[in-house]
């Protein structure tokens, strides 16, 4: 193949670069804390899970296909759909208890929470855990996830449920839904949403549901 046909990084526009970065993250497991990881199903391969020393996998995607992991890796699946009206908050206490219990059993244990793409459902559960057991605010939890996995974004219904959960835990909220030209969005993510809408007017993040 001629070298002229190979695209260079310098020749890629910002949209193509963003798509490349997104695909890289979709294929990666992101370390949120030294013991807690977040990913989509494509990244949750036996090879990657073993390489990271993950001992417990929490699958929260109803539509995911089963993966057989070696003995010693515990796997549990919970059928959650990625839709704004899905009652994901019904799982907050039970799933955060499971994460906390596994991590406390052995300091060497590591937990992977995954959905289909590691964007909405898994981020929501990880944020709930960070608020409940790591004493973070919702804003801090989301920004930590975002720092290590840039594509993280709970759907708007899940945002509302996370805000309610934070209020239950903290008797206060750190994130507010604000009215914008895109509808009501979380204030912590407004600038990000605005930039994405400017780059792709039809939206790379569906604000009503991510379906991921």
Active-site residues, by number, are 115
Q: CA–CA separation, 198 vs 73, rounded Å? A: 43
Burial class for 132, CB neighbours closer than 10 Å (0-12, 13-18, 19+): buried
Is residue 178 within 8 Å of 185, Cβ to Cβ?
yes
Sign of CA dihedral 191, 192, 195, 197: negative
Non-local CB neighbours of 137 within 8 Å, separated by 6+ positions = 131, 166, 170, 174, 175
Burial class for 81, CB neighbours closer than 10 Å (0-12, 13-18, 19+): middle
Is residue 92 within 8 Å of 165, Cβ to Cβ?
yes
Non-local CB neighbours of 33 within 8 Å, separated by 6+ positions = 134
Which of 192, 13, 201, 46 is closest to 119 using CA atoms?
192
């Amino acid at each position: 193949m001629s070298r002229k046909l190979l695209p260079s990084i310098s020749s890629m526009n910002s949209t193509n670069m963003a798509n490349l970065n997104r695909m890289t993250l979709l294929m990666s497991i992101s370390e949120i804390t030294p013991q807690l990881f977040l990913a989509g199903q494509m990244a949750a391969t036996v090879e990657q899970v073993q390489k990271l020393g993950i001992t417990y996998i929490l699958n929260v995607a109803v539509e995911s296909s089963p993966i057989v992991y070696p003995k010693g890796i515990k796997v549990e699946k919970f059928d959650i759909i990625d839709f704004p009206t899905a009652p994901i908050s019904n799982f907050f206490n039970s799933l955060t208890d499971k994460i906390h219990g596994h991590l406390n059993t052995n300091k060497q244990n590591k937990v992977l929470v995954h959905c289909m793409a590691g964007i909405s459902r898994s981020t929501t559960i990880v944020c709930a855990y960070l608020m409940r057991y790591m004493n973070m605010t919702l804003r801090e939890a989301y920004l930590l996830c975002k720092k290590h996995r840039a594509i993280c974004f709970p759907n708007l219904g899940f945002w509302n449920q996370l805000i309610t959960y934070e209020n239950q835990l903290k008797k206060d909220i750190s994130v507010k839904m604000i009215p914008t030209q895109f509808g009501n969005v979380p204030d912590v993510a407004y600038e990000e949403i605005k930039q994405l809408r400017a780059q792709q007017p039809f939206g790379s993040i569906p604000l009503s549901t991510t379906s991921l």
